[in-house]
Amino acid sequence: MKQIAKVLTAIILCIAVFFVLLSGLETKESSGSTAMVGETVPAFKLSDVTDASTYLTESIFHNDSLTLLNVWAAWCGICKTEHQF
């Protein structure tokens, strides 16, 4: 009987931890954050991915009314899949 109680307690504890961690993944900041909408792009100078001799700056955002800036991180699994280089 004690063994069953220990197993049930461990299962309930694991389920509780799972739901606590799951709820932390679905915060407002992590899903669709638009923190920079309407803000100006900070100054930067980066080499082009396809041509290292060409540099891109924040001026590329001044010509069009809508521009998408996609940023990758080396530690991000989805980013590694999306960015094949």
State the Cα–Cα distance between residues 64 and 67, nearest whole angstrom. Answer: 7
Instruction: Outline where DSSP puts E strands in 35-83.
Output: 45-47, 55-57
Tens digit of each residue's pLDDT (9 = 90 or more) over 7-29: 999 999 999 999 888 776 655 55
For residue 85, the model assigns a pLDDT of 59
pLDDT bucket at 69, cuts 50 / 70 / 90: confident
